[in-house]
Structure 1
Amino acid sequence: MNLKFCILFSFFVRNVIARGGYRSTSLSSAAVNKFTLLRKKNLGFENESYAGSGRHLIEENQSHHPRTDIARGYMTNSELERAVKEFGRRCSHISRIYSIGESVRGFPLWVIEISDKPGQEEPEPAFKFIGNVHGDEPVGRELLLLLANWICDNYKRDPLVDLIVDKVHLHILPSMNPDGFSFRRRGNANKVDLNRDFPDQFFPWNNNEDARQPETKAIMSWLREMRFTASASLHGGALVANYPWDASLDKRKNYYACPDDGTFRFLASIYSKSHYNMSLSKEFEGGITNGAAWYPVYGGMQDWNYIYGGCFELTLEISDNKWPNAKELPTIWEYNKMSMLNLVASLVKTGVHGRVFSSDSGRPLPGLITIKGINYTVKTSGTLADYHRLLVPGERYEVMATVPGYKSKATHIWLEKEEATNVDFILDPEVSSDGTLLRSICDCGRKSRLLSIGYFWGTHFEVYLVLIVVLAFLCFLLTRRIKSNLLKQRSPPKRSVLTV
């Protein structure tokens, strides 16, 4: 009897790898079949027979790695590229594919954007997922392709998916470190840990951007070109949702809260509570942790996003095993699917959103949004002047909009649970003692030059109208002069003509 019990118990433990807290589980054959179909779609094998267990990462660089068992069943980099492009073809109505750069060895860093209007600028929040930051943590790259295909298959069928596609711009970077994946190691091709390569708020050793790794610089440029409200990177080796700060000045292992500590705890809890058993963790209360309280990380991507990118980023540890057997991927996918969906949807289910306008011209005003009592500023977009401020629901806030040359305005709101609040600000121009409008052009966006043109056109319309008329008249005279000269060249002049 004891021998039978031990055999059964060992079999169960071997198949339950995400051990946040104990909860008995077994995937149905239907769930496994759905997972298999999604993986076939990933690789464009939907209508073909597919032996997933026969794929080897090591095929790309077999001479370096005689052991191939650990990578069996995972997409190689070439298969990942094929999967991304196949998704773009299959789901072109709600997606676009683009690259943000290349790895050290020249592999493109492919991104999938999912939206009802991909590639278009809208007054909507944007979310990004990043997988495979560490080369030896490949679960994220598999799950993110599954997530993209699941969204595509369930659009117009599932209300949560519809909310994400219609109201959010979701960007998915399956692999930030394809070279590390090829070598089956943590760092990139230069053996640099990419999650220690970002500028740090406490120590200056990463401040020289030119000295950063190509993958790091690609992420930094990405955030300059695109405004993300929130994001998450997927890791392995634990089961917890990690939030800022990731470190402290004294390098001690203590809780170090950022200005938006409450909001980050709320976001981390959304992921943890939506997960099958992350919130049941015995190591991390509620399945979440402050990074500095867990172990200090300097040069991390999470804190850099919040400080320099205006983006609320979580670090999600989604599997106790860094590189689990591929047969365990269906279970990990089922455990994390709703967590990923609910985290993205939270961008429009809560928080305060809106736009900032000028009262006299009605044009959008790029500016700043602040919350009384929270030492953090959110920028509006440069063109549409929309903002998306994540906050803990069920509390009262004072929200203020500030634009140089305009009178700031503030309002009080009560943020309901599971319901976002929309607040548009209409600001009045500041006026000097002599009645002159005190306006300044805020270069807060990529298209501020266009805004500047619109501004001057609106405020000096009469002057420009006169100038246009004068210029048109001068052009008319010049044209007549040129035509007259051409006629003189083509036929002998009958008489001398003097023009003064």
Structure 2
Amino acid sequence: MSKLRFVNCLLISTAICFFLPSIAARGGHSDYIYPGDGNSSFHVTARNLFAQEETRPSLELTRGYMTNDDLEKAMKDFTKRCSKISRLYSIGKSVNGFPLWVIEISDRPGEIEAEPAFKYIGNVHGDEPVGRELLLRLANWICDNYNKDPLAQMIVENVHLHIMPSLNPDGFSIRKRNNANNVDLNRDFPDQFFSFNEDLSLRQPETMAVMTWLRDIRFTASATLHGGALVANFPWDGTEDKRKYYYACPDDETFRFLARIYSKSHRNMSLSKEFEEGITNGASWYPIYGGMQDWNYIHGGCFELTLEISDNKWPRASELPTIWDYNRKSMLNLVASLVKTGVHGRIFSLDQGKPLPGLVVVKGINYTVKAHQRYADYHRLLAPGQKYEGLMFFPHIQLKIRVIMFVSV
């Protein structure tokens, strides 16, 4: 039996706050219609679950936003300008055939490394375009500051950051929430409680593209950018009995920690009068089913937040620079949390020096993190300030090892 050597990196997490002139939050509201008080009948017959279609914004309001063609050109221009630290690729196409473009930012883009990966997705809902604008600004900021800002340099050198400004270009082009098939993409993923959309033939191409993406790339964490409120939302998004209440996932404490990183780094999200600390459990706010967030955590091994970054879904373009200023540190700090917190390491055999892929489990948390098959690196996000007892399983050699993990503030 091979002797094992563990290389652990136990790191500290901090959320960096910054100060800008205040902006009045207008108090966004959910477009969810709650189906009842928990005692009424609940019968799922549609894939477009609980999404209320809203009036389309006027063409005048869209002035100043990038069109899909503008966005595509801007992304191609970006990867030419920042070719040393980026690449452009597509994970598939929308219903109407528009490529789902992604920018990867790293000191070794396109290569597999023993580093955590983070993804940002914007414009999941076609009538929530702020995320696509902010994500391109994020890419450009990192490119412009890579050689002079320590945070930008740390992200480029220690994380593979993947940025998809628009998952729903078809919905954006017609200024509507759903995709070209009139399906809400954030209700189209397999759900842990209800099997209403298990038929692969009915799943949307944008949804399938994301699911395939997570099979190809092992993401440690991610976030989707939405609009209509100002809050950092975390799992679970739904409940077993369809009622509205706080329903915690196994890593609830870690998710709360990650949500607070975003909220406290934001100019005024943490000051919310509606959401304590500017964060919320999804099911406590309003339950949804078939959401991307829960699917990422369950099936993708990826800790995902749903970030409501603008209380107005489609603000005037003149407001975008201010919204960017208020979210910039939050967006950067959330990515940086992948290397600033938790337990990271690689597993080798002492006799041959070969990586040994395995499973990492933390006592008291019913969730398994897989080490990479090729490099045997693992990235286990954990809330700081505690001592954890971990177990490493190696099914192929039938071995289990107990490990003490310290994650300090």
Indicate the residue corresponding to 1:253 in structure 2: 244
Among residues 301, 307, 322, which one is paired with 1:316 in the alignment? Answer: 307
Indicate the residue corresponding to 1:146 in structure 2: 137
Aligned CA-pair RMSD: 1.5
C-alpha displacement at 1:16, in angstroms? 3.8
CA distance in 2, matches of 1:138, 1:298: 23
Q: Is structure 2 residue 265 aligned with structure 1 residue 274?
A: yes
C-alpha displacement at 1:151, in angstroms? 0.2
Summarize deviations over 1:284-306 as a string: whole Å, max 9, x none. 00000000000001000000000
Q: Which amino acid aligns with 1:141?
A: R
Summarize deviations over 1:412-462 as a string: whole Å, max 9, x none. 122112xxxxxxxxxxxxxxxxxxxxxxxxxxxxxxxxxxxxxxxxxxxxx
Q: TM-score when scaled to structure 2?
A: 0.86
Q: Is structure 2 residue 374 aligned with structure 1 residue 395?
A: no
Indicate the residue corresponding to 1:350 in structure 2: 341
Summarize deviations over 1:260-279 as a string: whole Å, max 9, x none. 00000000000000000000
Gaps of 5+ in 2: 1-21, 29-55
C-alpha displacement at 1:402, in angstroms? 0.8
CA distance in 1, matches of 2:358, 2:200: 27
Contact 1:20 1:282 in 2 (8 A): no
Q: Is structure 2 residue 407 aligned with structure 1 residue 415?
A: yes
Q: Is structure 2 residue 151 aligned with structure 1 residue 160?
A: yes
Indicate the residue corresponding to 1:471 in structure 2: none
1:99-498 map, 5 Å: 99-404=90-395, 405-417=397-409
- Matched residues, percent identical? 72
Q: Is structure 2 residue 63 aligned with structure 1 residue 72?
A: yes
Summarize deviations over 1:336-367 as a string: whole Å, max 9, x none. 00000000000000100011222432211121
C-alpha displacement at 1:409, in angstroms? 1.1
For CA contacts below 8 A with separation 6 or more, give which structure has more relative contact order: 2
Contact 2:250 2:367 in 1 (8 A): yes
Q: Which amino acid aligns with 1:94?
A: I
Contact 1:137 1:186 in 2 (8 A): yes
CA distance in 2, matches of 1:66, 1:139: 13
Summarize deviations over 1:374-397 as a string: whole Å, max 9, x none. 000001111001110000001000
Higher helix share: 1
Contact 2:57 2:175 in 1 (8 A): no
Gaps of 5+ in 1: 1-14, 22-64, 418-500
Q: Which amino acid aligns with 2:366?
A: N
CA distance in 1, matches of 2:205, 2:328: 31
Q: Secondary structure at the match of 1:272?
A: helix
Larger Rg computed on CA atoms: 1
Contact 1:244 1:261 in 2 (8 A): yes
Contact 1:20 1:280 in 2 (8 A): no
C-alpha displacement at 1:19, in angstroms? 4.8
Q: Secondary structure at the match of 1:206?
A: coil
Task: Give every structure 1 segment of 4 or more consecutive aligned residues whose post-TM-superposition deviation is greater than 3 Å.
Answer: 15-21
CA distance in 2, matches of 1:109, 1:312: 22
C-alpha displacement at 1:67, in angstroms? 4.3
Q: Which amino acid aligns with 1:276?
A: R
Distance 1:416 1:19, change over 3 A: farther
CA distance in 1, matches of 2:319, 2:150: 28
Summarize deviations over 1:175-227 as a string: whole Å, max 9, x none. 00000000100000001000000000000111222321000000000000000
Q: Secondary structure at the match of 1:374?
A: coil
Indicate the residue corresponding to 2:50 in structure 1: none
Distance 1:314 1:393, change over 3 A: same
CA distance in 2, matches of 1:245, 1:363: 38
Q: Which amino acid aligns with 1:408?
A: K
CA distance in 2, matches of 1:397, 1:251: 33
Summarize deviations over 1:11-44 as a string: whole Å, max 9, x none. xxxx9464579xxxxxxxxxxxxxxxxxxxxxxx
Indicate the residue corresponding to 2:81 in structure 1: 90
Q: Which amino acid aligns with 1:286?
A: E
Contact 2:26 2:312 in 1 (8 A): no
Distance 1:74 1:363, change over 3 A: same
Q: Which amino acid aligns with 1:327?
A: S
Indicate the residue corresponding to 1:448 in structure 2: none
CA distance in 2, matches of 1:251, 1:358: 48
C-alpha displacement at 1:113, in angstroms? 0.2
CA distance in 2, matches of 1:288, 1:94: 33
CA distance in 1, matches of 2:88, 2:24: 33
Distance 1:337 1:19, change over 3 A: farther
Contact 1:20 1:287 in 2 (8 A): no
